[in-house]
C-alpha cells in the first residue's frame, strides 16, 4: 500500500510539473522582444486598444510613417526626454521616447495623461516574437 501511494504521489508530481512546464511555454509564447538585441520588451497579454484599436499608423512631422501597437506595460523599455503634448498622436496624453532598456534602440513612445494613466505605443517592426 505504501508503494502504491508513493507511485501515486510521484505521478501527481510529474503531472504538476508537466502543467507548470506547459504554462511556462504559453507565457514564453506571449513574449515580444527587441528585434535588435532580443531583450524582453513586453508580452502580447499587455496589448490594449486606444482610440478604438490596438494598431495605428501615424506620420510624424518629418514625414516618417510608424505602425505602432498599444501596450499597457512594456517593462523592457526605458523612457527618455521631457514629456510633451507637442505633436501627440493621442489627445490628452504627453509622450516621451521609449528605448530598449538593453541596447537603447528606439522602440516607440511612452504616453501619460494628467490623470496618471499611461501606455506605450511601440513600433511593431522593432519588436518580434521569439522564433
Q: Where are the domains of the chain?
A: 33-128
Alpha-carbon distances, residue 51 vs 9, 55, 56, 62 (angstroms): 52, 10, 9, 23
Q: How long a stretch of residues is the chain?
A: 131
- Of 13-27, 29-43, 61-75, 76-90, the poorest mean pLDDT is in 13-27
Half-sphere exposure of 123 (CA within 13 A, CB side): 20
Is 126:35 a contact under the CB 8 Å cutoff? yes
Q: Of the given ranges (7-11, 93-97, 100-104, 107-111), which has the lowest mean pLDDT?
A: 7-11
33-128 belongs to CATH 3.50.50.60: no
pLDDT of res. 64: 97
Using pLDDT thresholds of 50, 70 and 90, give the confidence band for residue 22.
Answer: low
Query: In sequence order, which residues have a C-beta less than 8 Å from that of residue 99 and are 6 or more positions away?
Result: 77, 78, 79, 80, 105, 106, 107
Sheet holding 106-113, edge to edge: 55-59, 65-71, 118-123, 106-113, 93-100, 77-84
pLDDT given for residue 40 in this prediction: 97
Quick one: pLDDT band at residue 11, thresholds 50, 70, 90? low
Per-residue pLDDT band for 2 (boundaries 50, 70, 90) equals low
Residue 53 CA to its chain's centroid (Å) = 16
Amino acid at each position: 500500500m505504501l508503494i502504491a501511494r508513493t507511485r501515486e504521489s510521484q505521478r501527481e508530481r510529474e503531472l504538476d510539473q508537466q502543467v507548470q512546464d506547459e504554462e511556462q511555454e504559453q507565457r514564453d509564447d506571449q513574449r515580444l522582444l527587441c528585434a535588435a538585441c532580443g531583450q524582453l520588451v513586453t508580452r502580447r497579454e499587455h496589448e490594449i486598444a486606444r482610440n478604438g484599436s490596438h494598431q495605428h499608423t501615424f506620420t510624424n512631422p518629418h514625414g516618417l510613417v510608424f505602425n505602432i501597437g498599444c501596450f499597457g506595460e512594456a517593462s523592457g523599455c526605458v523612457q527618455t526626454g521631457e514629456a510633451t503634448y507637442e505633436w501627440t498622436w493621442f489627445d490628452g496624453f504627453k509622450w516621451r521616447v521609449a528605448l530598449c532598456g538593453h541596447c537603447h534602440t528606439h522602440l516607440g513612445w511612452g504616453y501619460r495623461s494628467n490623470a496618471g494613466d499611461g501606455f506605450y505605443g511601440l513600433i511593431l517592426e522593432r519588436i518580434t516574437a521569439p522564433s
